[in-house]
A and B are shown apart, each in its own frame.
Chain A
């Protein structure tokens, strides 16, 4: 198998964007190509997007992007894997190069969700649930996250204050990230425990509150992947993909043996560690899928950064802040950077590359990073 490196990254500011879906994808693809120092020569394009068919009523987006950028006759596919579409596209890019099918791959993830209101966006994402056994009841991803949180708090003594501290940290990081949707620091005193907090930070899916949940964003991000053997042709030093893992879990959450275990996250990380020949101790920083603050806690434990039930101690000690022992979500995470679903997995890798190149903005550059790890997942931990 050939080694694969990342030599170009591109991103657009998440939030409400005025461009069309394919245009915002094209913008970031051009940014990534500029970063890599190329204008052509892409063998394969993988586009990740979840809602083109539903939200934009547009199919065949990968070919549309190729044509928009005049990259014909590059091979092109659209990858739809729920909110994990982005990391799936990166994985396919990796596979295409590792197998020898392609030398240079463009991976672009994008989503425009702001044309929907919050209620419609919640409904759109909920379409990945089981149609009869879950979706028809009005169940949504926030509902499952709320039920998960209640059990987790009961078992491990996590409190709403811990969750609020994660939110504050991620907002602080996003405030320094020019690509983040919500660049607005929030304070712990304001969102937790003061007389106004119940109204300012109301419950959305008890015990989760509004500041425990990601916003609805438009956005896109792109990467240029290449065969490491030809990496010296590009402008920037490559960042090697050391390991990739993916796993799935039951479609219906109720069919999991232990509803508190994110088996797919654990399985995927074990595969990635094995492939990279490292363990959690070697990880310098991580981008985790915090569509809900509780997920940052649970994932950080599943991937071995902390013992089960112990992530809360790290939160209390500030270990997951940019200045801490193991920074998590230096980008602001899904919570504050935003979660344009199809773009998220690609955006997370964008952040890993930026950090590993030491190109992050002052105040959110992780100290001496060697290995970065990203978890992107779809549904309530179905695909990773």
Chain B
């Protein structure tokens, strides 16, 4: 049976010291504990979904998009979540200010042949 698509984006938490990483490295940047996604030799890191409120650190509107994005422009930004994790993603509003609060959700960020790719999209707070 096909696996259900996991639409979440995760930070990964070291099982030994609790340090959060995004994206997941193969060893903890804090205590050097190793990560094993197959869980055969070591444990995998705990997955912590990245969502909820975050702060916009900086942003841009890009007109020259890479091949495959037939859009006039897209907005991108760097955000910081309340747990200190930072991430880049697409911003789904044109009304932007440095430092503004945003809500992180996940959605289709890219379509490749026969498949949707999910990632972080930031929306203005209601």
Which residues on A are within 8 Å of B, measured CB to CB?
A: 117-120, 122-123, 126, 130, 132-134, 136-140, 142-143, 146-151, 154, 202-208, 252-255, 259
Cβ-neighbour of B88 out of A202, A203, A253 (below 8 A): A253
Q: Do residues A143 and B60 form an inter-chain contact, with CB atoms below 8 A?
A: yes
- Are B58 and A138 in contact, with the CB atoms below 8 A? no
Interchain CB contact under 8 A, A147 and B119: no
| Chain A interface SS verdict (over half) | helix
Bound form: Cα–Cα A136–B23 in Å: 13
Check A205–B63 contact: CB distance below 8 A: yes
Q: Are A123 and B66 in contact (CB under 8 A)?
A: yes
Known: A133-B88, A252-B23. A206 touches B60 (CB 8 A): yes
B66 touches A147 (CB 8 A): no
Residues of A within 8 A of B61 (CB): 146, 203, 205-206
Contact partners of A148 in chain B: CB under 8 A: 58
Q: Can you name 16 A-B pairs with beta carbons within 8 Å? A: A117-B67, A118-B64, A119-B64, A119-B65, A133-B22, A136-B119, A137-B110, A138-B90, A139-B76, A140-B66, A142-B62, A150-B58, A204-B62, A205-B60, A254-B88, A255-B22
A132-B23, A147-B78 known; A138 vs B98 contact (CB < 8 Å): no
Whether the pair A147, B77 counts as a contact (CB closer than 8 A) is: yes
Per-position binary interface string of chain B over residues 38-78, scored 1 when its CB falls under 8 Å from any chain A CB and 0 otherwise: 00000000000000000001111111111111000010111
Q: How many residues of B contact A (CB 8 A)?
A: 30
B88 touches A139 (CB 8 A): yes
Interface pair B87/A204, CB less than 8 Å apart: no
User: 6 closest pairs, A vs B, by CB?
Assistant: A146-B60, A123-B66, A254-B86, A147-B58, A119-B67, A123-B67
Report the minimal beta-carbon distance from A379 to chain B, rounded to whole angstroms: 13
Q: Give the docked Cα–Cα distance between A146 and B91 (Å).
A: 14
Residues of chain A contacted by B57 (CB below 8 angstroms) = 151, 259
Q: How far is the CB of B72 from chain A (nearest CB, A)?
A: 12
Question: Could you say which of B58, B88, B98, B117 contacts A134, with CB atoms under 8 Å apart?
Answer: B88
Q: What's the Cα separation between A204 and B69 when bound, in Å?
A: 14
Contact digits for B91-119, partner A, Cβ 8 Å, 1 yes 0 no: 00000001000000000011000000101
Partner of A137, one of B22, B60, B89: B89
The docked-state distance in angstroms from the alpha carbon of A195 to that of B90 is: 31
Chain A nearest CB from B94 CB (Å) reads 11
Q: Determine which of A138, A154, A203, A252 lies in contact with B65 in the assembled complex, contact meaning CB atoms within 8 Å.
A: A138
Q: A203-B61, A254-B78, A255-B22 are in contact. List 9 more A-B contacts (CB 8 A).
A: A133-B23, A137-B110, A137-B120, A143-B60, A146-B62, A146-B76, A149-B60, A154-B98, A259-B58
Partner of A142, one of B64, B68, B69: B64
Contact yes or no, B66 A122, CB < 8 A: yes
Q: Which residue of A lies closest to B89 (CB)?
A: A137
**CB closest residue in chain B, given A202:** B63
Closest chain-A Cβ to B73's Cβ sits at a distance in Å of 9
